[in-house]
Amino acid sequence: MWLCEEMGLPYEVEFIGFPVSEAYRAKNPLGSVPFLEDGDVAINESVAMVLYLGERYGPTPLLPGKNDPALARVLQMAVFSEATFGSGMNTLMMAKFAAPEPDKQNWSVTAQESRSDTALGLLSKALGDQPYLAGKGFTIADICNHTALAMWDGALKKAVPENLRAYRERCGARAAYQRAQERAAPKS
């Protein structure tokens, strides 16, 4: 949704409840969100979705072209957001909100927290004192990492280094993000 807003692409949002319906599971056997349908395309995995949309409906400055030196960094950090930083987020949220009390800080949870914390350190280092992960320009890598970061310091209430706190605010202040938020969770 955020990328569609950034690129000015029209889109429709379908809200689903959990547990998901059989009809939804028939489309997406994982039963997870997000899920993208675009003509004959029907895919899960948020990073694949933003790369697909950027490529299919670009060019866009949010996804550097093949000769742009920023391309490798954008791909690296987009994949990192889910494959490394975001990969433990479901486990940590289930431990925090659903696990029985004695299991909330068991060995696996503590190990995952440590791995996520190491990933957070890499994210902070990759950003450094730049405004965005690939430098001055906002890209798909920022959409992906802002989302994982919002789970880390939002739902999980974990600490973040100062540069990432300011980065989260900077990304979240974008008009496109605000519009997507409004459509995802209308205030009225």
Per CB under 6 A, the list member of 9, 33, 79, 166 interacting with ligand GSH is: 33
- Dihedral over Cα of 180, 75, 162, 108: its sign: positive
Is the CB of 55 or the CB of 59 nearer to ligand GSH?
55
Min dist. Cβ of residue 48 to ligand GSH (A): 8
Cα separation of 59 and 66, whole Å?
11
Q: Using the rule CB under 6 A, is 45 a contact of ligand GSH?
A: yes
Min dist. Cβ of residue 94 to ligand GSH (A): 9
Min dist. Cβ of residue 136 to ligand GSH (A): 26
Min dist. Cβ of residue 123 to ligand GSH (A): 16
Is the CB of 93 or the CB of 129 nearer to ligand GSH?
93
Min dist. Cβ of residue 147 to ligand GSH (A): 8
Min dist. Cβ of residue 91 to ligand GSH (A): 10
Neighbours of 139 (CB within 10 A): 26
What are the distances in angstroms from CA 74 to CA 70, 86, 172? 6, 16, 19
Q: Using the rule CB under 6 A, is 31 a contact of ligand GSH?
A: yes
Q: Using the rule CB under 6 A, is 124 a contact of ligand GSH?
A: no
Token reading at 41:
């395309």
> Binding string, 73-112, against ligand GSH, x = CB under 6 A?
---------x-------x----------------------
Is the CB of 30 or the CB of 59 nearer to ligand GSH?
30
Per CB under 6 A, the list member of 9, 44, 79, 99 interacting with ligand GSH is: 44
Residues at the site binding ligand GSH, with contacts judged by CB under 6 A:
31-34, 44-47, 82, 90
